[in-house]
């Protein structure tokens, strides 16, 4: 996979495609063509290479295909190759963090490959004891039946009902649930005033979906799609920084039995 990513990044035209998606994600192929000095056929070929390398994820929305920048392979390259070069590592991760926090789309998509089975990954997504290990002591808890409530703990305190519900549960293939809104309990971490909290609570409820696809006897592809955000959403800014860390912890825990602390 590293070779495919390096090959994809080596071409300046493909880097232009990634720049365009960084500027505004969720673009159609026509959107990309209009913003780049390339033919439709050339853009389509470059997108196919980027998709094969895992740097771009394509999602169908109605009759259209939307293209999203996937930061996971870049983070994995940083983890594997850049740790030994401290200054370069800091620069790379700073750029990655900026890309993740730049709320230029109504969806956040993250795709990664994990050496595990679909059944084991499903357990990791639904077992509260497992969840606490990679969620930093908190996370969701439910019986994971469609329509059931999803209770939430932030950092190990008792789970609370924040009006979340299971939308889909198809083990071991797909899980989806509504996300929580901003809560008064979050003020002690954020320093928001009551007026700021009231404004943030006007954002619509978002939702997160986990799609599990086996790719071999001992590996799966996990795609996390968190969507339902309005442009400029503070919640999207938060989850786009939080999900990569959580999912990196999940991958490490399933593959090594430990969470790697940076």
The CATH class, in words, for 2-101 is: mainly alpha
pLDDT at 173: 95
Which phi and psi angles does 220 have, rounded to 5°? -135, 160
Question: CATH code for 107-256?
Answer: 3.30.530.20
User: Which residues on neighbouring strands pair with residue 107, listed in sequence order?
Assistant: 227
Mean pLDDT in residue range 24-49: 83
Q: Would you state the structure tokens that stand for residue 114, as one six-digit string?
A: 């994990």
pLDDT at 261: 55
User: Percentage of residues in the chain with pLDDT exceeding 90?
Assistant: 34
pLDDT at 95: 47
pLDDT at 190: 76
pLDDT exceeds 60 at position 97: no
pLDDT at 121: 97
pLDDT at 1: 59
Which phi and psi angles does 115 have, rounded to 5°? -80, 90
pLDDT at 140: 95
Q: What is the pTM of this model?
A: 0.64
pLDDT exceeds 90 at position 177: yes
Q: In this structure, what DSSP letter does residue 229 have?
A: P
Domain boundaries, the chain: 2-101, 107-256
Distance of CA 238 to the CA centre of its chain: 11
pLDDT at 80: 63
Collapse the DSSP code of 148 into the 3-class scheme (helix H, G, I; strand E, B; otherwise coil) and give the result: coil
User: Percentage of residues in the chain with pLDDT exceeding 70?
Assistant: 86
- Please state, as a whole number, how many other Cβ atoms lie within 10 Å of the Cβ of residue 4: 15
pLDDT exceeds 50 at position 66: yes
Tell me the pLDDT of the chain averaged across its residues: 83
Please report, for residues 67, 150, 199, 202, 232, the alpha-carbon distance to residue 153 in angstroms, rounded to integers and kept in the order given: 33, 10, 23, 22, 26
pLDDT at 22: 77
Mean pLDDT in residue range 181-205: 84
pLDDT exceeds 70 at position 94: no
Question: What contacts 85, CB < 8 A, 6 or more positions away?
Answer: none
Instruction: Tell me, yes or no, if the two domains 2-101 and 107-256 fold the same way.
Output: no
Of 9-23, 119-133, 235-249, which range is least confident? 9-23
pLDDT at 100: 46
pLDDT at 104: 41
pLDDT tens track for 110-167: 999 999 999 999 999 999 999 999 998 889 999 999 999 999 988 778 889 999 999 9
Q: Is residue 12 classed exposed, middle or buried when 0-12, 13-18 and 19+ CB atoms within 10 A define those classes? A: exposed
Mean pLDDT in residue range 100-109: 60
């Amino acid at each position: 996979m590293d070779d495919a990513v390096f090959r994809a990044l080596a071409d300046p035209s493909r880097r232009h495609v990634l720049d365009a998606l960084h500027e505004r994600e969720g673009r159609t192929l026509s959107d990309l063509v209009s913003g780049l000095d390339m033919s439709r056929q050339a853009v389509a070929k470059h997108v196919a290479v980027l998709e094969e390398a895992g740097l771009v994820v394509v999602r169908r929305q109605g009759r259209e295909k939307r293209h999203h920048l996937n930061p996971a392979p870049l983070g994995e390259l940083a983890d594997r190759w850049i740790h030994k070069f401290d200054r370069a590592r800091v620069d790379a991760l700073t750029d990655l963090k900026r890309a993740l926090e730049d709320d230029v789309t109504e969806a956040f998509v993250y795709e990664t490959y994990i050496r595990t089975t679909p059944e084991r990954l499903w357990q990791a997504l639904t077992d509260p004891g497992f969840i606490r290990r990679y969620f930093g002591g908190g996370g969701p808890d439910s019986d994971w039946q469609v329509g059931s409530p999803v209770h939430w703990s932030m950092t190990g305190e008792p789970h609370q009902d924040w009006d979340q519900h299971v939308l889909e549960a198809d083990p071991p293939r797909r899980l989806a649930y509504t996300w929580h809104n901003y809560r008064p309990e979050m003020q002690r971490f954020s320093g928001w005033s009551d007026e700021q909290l009231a404004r943030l609570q006007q954002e619509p409820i978002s939702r997160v979906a986990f799609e599990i696809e086996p790719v071999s006897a001992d590996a799966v592809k996990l795609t996390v799609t968190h969507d339902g955000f309005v442009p400029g959403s503070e919640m999207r800014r938060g989850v786009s920084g939080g999900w990569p860390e959580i999912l990196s912890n999940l991958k490490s825990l399933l593959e090594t039995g430990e969470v790697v602390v940076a």
